[in-house]
Structure 1
């Protein structure tokens, strides 16, 4: 591991290390990387978890940079503000045209072609494409490669039926929603000194399948990318690893450790800096694999912080433009704002429900949903309890209404549920299916009848 003093000398002294001094140990040739659409393909190098090999690989990439590029890397890593590209109408027009041209001449774009056939309106959305251009500072070739990689990654993770629509929480399964609610990987509502949003990844004492973690990470990224400032300035990743060993944690999965960093190549966001914070040497192999898996631009922007405690590691971030007090983690490595984050997740799902059409099936009901069925689990569900309150609040109005007007009161309640982002769901195997309006009205009517019997009214 190169310490800060060595890195600083490496960055500023052009005579310290030259291209000839360091063997090129990169396992992926430049020409292959410039054409490959696959994100997760390629074998894991036999020495991927070797710290010395990882640092030699980074040194090799640094040696290839010009003095100006090294200075850019230094500024990115240390949170020194960078001027954003001035987006004139001419630049945007020419870049969008150039992006399409570069997409057309790319040889490997199977997933993009499928998406283009299914819904060209989605693939040609102006703001969506601009996000990829901003990410690559309006380099049309790089943006085009990132764009087709995005669709290939999305196809690999979610399948063809979800390829040309935004992914929401309703698309996540039970494990993925559980990972989401762990709050261990997400964008904080804070920025570094360069104005870049901070994304944290905190290792937790539980293991999950690779695809579940990748799908959850994709969802998190694609809900954050709509922020234009993130598109223009990029983001900063802070990974926090604590404890005496990797075993039993979410990092105890070499396949995931290798694939997760590769998502950076296919998202419409620029990763300006990566900070790996850990307290024990047991994590060195894990971090070496992360650094090896990163693309070339991210490798040289990766820094390691190893101290006695997590808080000491986070304090080192101050020198890189990050206020450690904004990272919601205590000295035990525990996330301190989980309840607050759960409310944010709920609000996000509510907004998604109001924006997008109801899905055909759902794996995990929303807290505002009304679940049709008998028994205590249904009765105590928050959405069912809210429905009961809606019915109680309108009981007198319902009783006074004429026969035709009673249905209007029931409709009012159904709409009240939906305005909160709720759906009326029935169970179908291990999935939940939205019911029709008529079935929802029957449910509301049954509650009114139950309340009438309970009150002893005729």
Structure 2
């Protein structure tokens, strides 16, 4: 029987995040579940009920676990559990048990055909360990998954490719075209360094496409197996985001079952599952799917309801960076990252076939992680890696400015080491748009750039000292603090005043607008507020000039106008 046509037990998980319980001969339950979807006129109240019911299910799943199990699931889903360490003592007995299970179950299977074709391929230790990691060293589950894996591979690529790693050259033009449509993407790493994948279309299948289901499954097979080339991803697992918000709803249930069965065959370990929905049907179906999950999988599922902005915020609380979602400001898929990744895969294979490889310092990087430091020619960035880098510069600045040349070299070396320890690299951009990639800065240039960062900090500090007196201590509640990511109660007052006066501001000519700005400044000052900005000294602030404050408030009005138009 085809693996894509096998039925499964309702106690199995879904989306491919399943336990490896035996597959029964029951008919496909998802078809029955789809018939249970609420009617359009009953959806609003029903969705609220389904959401509450699903929240209860997820809560009940946690209550059925022991305290230690709950703690472990919480640590895993938030990425704070150290899963990057593998106990080698588990592997040898698990490999022996895996061989025993395969010997007892491989008869008349596609696995047996593959073993006859190339025993070294199917018995290779790294290949088998990948399946053990996916099932957390459950040898029987790993054996069952290996049997399904070869059956899936046969159906997608044919028996001739059973015992070779699938490359982009094994995909046809339609497969690659679907791959470039970006409906399934590797979306960088979360804050704990785990691979993030994003699936658009989510629960009810795939987005409308002129490709066949075979094209879709072949492309997605390539994406996941490419990710699983990393041992770190095999060990730490994958964080999956199923996204169906705005115009990214699946229009039909095409392929949902086949995706599920394919997911059961791939050697992937799911660390967490995040479902983002805003559509009533998607929400209701989500609750139905969660019901058939086993309790241990429900504990790792989180559902997020609302707009793109709301879901980004909720995901960020689990260590998933907002930029992990490859979407533009309007909520449409941004294909640039995926196109760069596909081009990089093609380049890598061409060089490999020619027996060539690029030096590590010049390898193209298409998906920087959150700990990387970007050198972007002075452009402002709120990237986490850059924030950490600037914090190191601030912390070490006094010792650096007063130190000897030898001490300065040691400080720079320590900053490099501390960045590398958290998985960060020092990157510079190459190219633009879809052709934009990142390259690691060579060591000889890196030290110069860090020295320049210290000089820039010192110059900014000198400029502040000449302009105004530094303010010690935290801003007062009425103060307005200018700058990116700066929030204070005084800022909230300023924003309310701008919102209330925006229409009046737009109706005035330029000469009169400044009077309105001055009135707003007076209101804030009457409350005891000042207009501040962070100084390049940690924990210090400086009061900006009156003209500077006027210009910034005028900018706030312009930004409000632009956001209102959107």
TMscore range, shorter length: 0.5 to 0.7
Tell whether 2:214 aligns with 1:211. Answer: yes
RCO higher in structure (CA 8 A, sep ≥6): 1
CA distance in 1, matches of 2:294, 2:221: 17
The match for 1:238 is 241
Separation (CA, whole Å) in 2 of partners of 1:100 and 1:70: 33
Are 2:158 and 1:156 equivalent residues in the alignment? no
8 Å Cα contact 2:228/2:234 also seen in 1: yes
Q: Indicate which of 348, 353, 365 corresponds to 2:345.
A: 348
Distance in 1 between the 2:11 and 2:143 partners?
19
Deviations 1:122-165 (A, max 9, x none): 11121111111222232222222222221122223222222221
Tell me the residue number matched to 1:447: none
Shift of 1:64: 5.4
**Separation in 2, partners of 1:334, 1:232:** 32
Query: Which one is further off, 229-238 or 254-263?
Result: 254-263
Q: Is the 8 A contact 1:241 1:279 kept in 2?
A: yes
**TM-score, normalised relative to structure 1:** 0.61
Matches within 5 A, 1:99-248: 99-106=98-105, 110-189=109-188, 191-203=189-201, 206-207=208-209, 208-243=211-246, 246=249
What is the alpha-carbon distance in structure 2 between the residues aligned to residue 226 and residue 41 of structure 1?
35
Q: Where does 1:43-442 land on structure 2 (aligned, <5 Å)?
A: 43-48=29-34, 50=37, 52=50, 55=54, 65-88=65-88, 90-106=89-105, 110-189=109-188, 191-203=189-201, 206-207=208-209, 208-243=211-246, 246=249, 251-288=250-287, 291=290, 298-307=297-306, 309-336=307-334, 338-355=335-352
Q: Is the 8 A contact 2:12 2:293 kept in 1?
A: no
1:279 and 1:306 in contact (8 A); partners too:
yes
Contact 1:199 / 1:237 at 8 angstroms: preserved in 2?
yes
The answer to whether the 8 A contact 1:317-1:323 is kept is yes
The answer to whether the Cα contact below 8 Å between 1:37 and 1:148 also exists between their aligned partners in 2 is no
Deviation, structure 1 residue 294: 6.3
Contact 1:62–1:300 at 8 Å: present in 2 too? yes
| Distance of aligned partners of 1:282 and 1:296 in 2 relative to their CA distance in 1, 3 Å threshold | same
Secondary structure of the 1:44 match is: helix
Q: Tell me how far apart the structure 1 counterparts of residues 106 and 24 of structure 2 sit (CA, whole Å).
A: 9
Contact 1:277 1:306 in 2 (8 A): yes
Tell me how far apart the structure 2 counterparts of residues 140 and 58 of structure 1 sit (CA, whole Å): 28
1:386 maps to none
**8 Å Cα contact 1:81/1:195 also seen in 2:** no
Distance 1:209 1:290 in 2: 25
Query: Aligned pairs, how many?
Result: 324
Q: Which runs of 5+ in 1 are unaligned?
A: 1-25, 358-458
> For the residues of structure 2 that align with 1:281 and 1:340, how far apart are their CA atoms?
30
Post-superposition offset of 1:255: 4.0
Cα deviation per residue 1:18-48 (whole Å; 9 max; x = unaligned)? xxxxxxxx72479x9533499x995535125
- Distance of aligned partners of 1:298 and 1:107 in 2 relative to their CA distance in 1, 3 Å threshold: farther
- Whether the aligned pair in 2 keeps the contact of 1:34 and 1:145 (CA below 8 Å) is no
After superposition, what is the alpha-carbon deviation per residue over 1:343-374, rounded to whole angstroms, capped at 9, x for unaligned?
A: 321221232244469xxxxxxxxxxxxxxxxx
* Correspondence 1:438-453 to 2 at 5 A: none
Work out the CA distance in 2 between the residues paired with 1:268 and 1:122. Answer: 16
Larger radius of gyration: 2
In 2, Cα distance between equivalents of 1:143 and 1:265: 11
Q: 1:236 to 1:143 in 2, by over 3 A?
A: same
Render the CA deviation track for 1:224-249: whole Å, top value 9, x for unaligned. Answer: 10101101100101122122684xxx
Q: Aligned-pair distance for 1:271?
A: 0.8
CA distance in 2, matches of 1:329, 1:106: 45
Contact 2:187 2:196 in 1 (8 A): yes
What is the DSSP-based 3-state SS (H/G/I as helix, E as strand, rest coil) of the residue aligned with 2:274? Answer: strand
Q: Which residue of the partner structure matches residue 8 of structure 1? A: none
SS for the counterpart of 1:254 is coil
* Counterparts in 2 of 1:325 and 1:127: CA distance versus 1, 3 Å: same
TM-aligned CA deviation for residue 295 of structure 1: 7.1
Contact 2:240 2:272 survives alignment (8 Å): yes
- What's the TM-score, normalizing by structure 2? 0.51
Residue 99 of structure 1: how far off its partner (Å): 1.6
- Cα deviation per residue 1:316-343 (whole Å; 9 max; x = unaligned)? 111212121332213422233x234313
Distance between the aligned counterparts of 2:158 and 2:296, measured in 1?
A: 29
Which residue does 1:384 correspond to in 2? none
